[in-house]
Chains A and B, each alone.
Chain A
């Protein structure tokens, strides 16, 4: 093994940081190896984003699988992990989603310790503003469901909200005066890159080969079986294959000769301001009058925010001005002190938007191919549970009851997991 191949088996801790500080930071090894792809693996996960890396980690950790590879066409976390407003929450209420996202949140709570990598999950509370009695009642149904199923959730009246989040627009002549909020305290934000790197490092330490700059260019089938993957770094044979390439799922699906999916690729922009001293402690969500806006402040001080899709199908990682304006309108309407705050950067990612706004973790028409897709806006918070259940599915070849309805046939059966009630139009499931 060359020194280049040597991963850093040091446990990260204040002690190791101190020790390396004294020795000029020269003794840190690689966070994960950079292996050449082997000709064959037991399990190949296509997609080195958060879901793919988490899957590989739990396959090795929970299921004792060996000989696993993760193939990433670019750099780890370069897809939707990068277009991310880093919000972690579990305020889903539909059967089929509720237990899944709750499990994800509990995994988040221990993730830094689990991975020995500080993913900076900060449970700073997620606050959905309410503007009408009807909205409050709809939120009550959602948060009551959370409470009844063992999660946390509460409704705040105006004085409580004002005390906690002092700089919102509480003016009575606001276009949509605030009357209160629905709050999940255990929700918050995490450092998205750290999640990708943390899973990569932990998976690598369990023997997973993480192969970057390796694009799958073809899927070779042997009847109803995937026999090998053609990649930009040579052919790779695989016992089982998992796709976790949100944004580009349809392309791989079609490479495997599997036709159409209930998914469209849309782009979603993200925004960050110049860094500021602390201004906003929580995640605040503002959705009324057709607006959809969410904002938090990063540890570095930038206001991180986002809004709706650009409304038209796109594979381009760049956005257009109408949504930039929309988002700025919402930002300054709800936080009037942001008027002079400057936008530093806006960019966009390609989302798998599904027909009901919910995801897929399921078996496929091919016996050894498994699908993880359709995360809409919600992929970041889902990633630990997504990896957990996808690994379980791949290892045991059957879905856990928690993901029983995350299959492609649910539309044929008529199962509705539509948190927004928006109907079968991918662009409406923000």
Chain B
């Protein structure tokens, strides 16, 4: 069981969350080219080591989280809200 420290709910089992995907992918604008969309949708760096990824606390607060995690040891080094506004509010409250 990976334990994820949700900034809203506290530390929880990963089974409460849904893995999203590679958090480093920047989705292009809707009017961007098919090539740009192809690369964002289909190509992955597939990092072996520390990667930024997204998880949703789907059985909790439903927030999407940006998690830094090792894909080798599964150790998590940071968790923050994906939404920058929300992340800023959380930081200022700490």
Contacts and interface: CB of A to CB of B under 8 A. Distances in A.
Dominant SS among interface residues on chain B? mixed
Interface residues of B, number: 27
Interface string B1-36: 110000000000111001101100000000000110
B73 interface: yes
B44 interface: yes
A47 to B, nearest CB: 16
Interface string A245-282: 00010110010000111111100000000000000000
Contact of A263 (B14, B18, B44, B71): B44
B71 A250 contact: no
Contacts of B43: 259-262
B89 interface: no
Contacts of A248: 48
Interface residues of A, number: 27
A261 B44 contact: yes
A311 interface: yes
A314 B48 CA distance: 8
Interface string A292-321: 000000000000000000011111100011
Interface in B41-57: 41-46, 48, 51, 53, 55
A424 B42 contact: yes
Contacts of A322: 1, 13-15
Contacts of B55: 312
A327 to B, nearest CB: 14
Contacts of B22: 264, 313
A355 interface: yes
A316 B72 contact: yes
Given A316-B73, A322-B14, A311 B48 contact: no
B83 interface: no
B1 A320 contact: yes
A250 B45 contact: yes
A411 B42 contact: yes
A427 interface: yes
Contacts, number: 74
Contact of A313 (B19, B35, B42): B19
Contact of A311 (B19, B38, B42): B19
B62 interface: no
Contact of A262 (B13, B42, B51): B42
Contacts of B53: 312-313
A265 B48 contact: yes
A425 B21 contact: yes
Contacts of A355: 41-42
A173 interface: no
Contacts of B1: 320-322
A250 B46 contact: yes
Interface in A364-380: none
B86 to A, nearest CB: 22
B19 A312 contact: yes
Contacts of A172: none
B18 to A, nearest CB: 7
Given A313-B19, A424-B42, A320 B14 contact: yes
A313 B71 contact: yes
Interface of A: 248, 250-251, 254, 259-265, 311-316, 320-322, 355, 411-412, 424-427
Interface of B: 1-2, 13-15, 18-19, 21-22, 34-35, 38-39, 41-46, 48, 51, 53, 55, 71-74
Closest 10 CB pairs of A and B: A250-B46, A260-B43, A312-B19, A322-B15, A411-B42, A262-B42, A355-B42, A315-B48, A315-B71, A315-B72
5 contacts: A261-B44, A311-B19, A312-B2, A314-B71, A322-B1
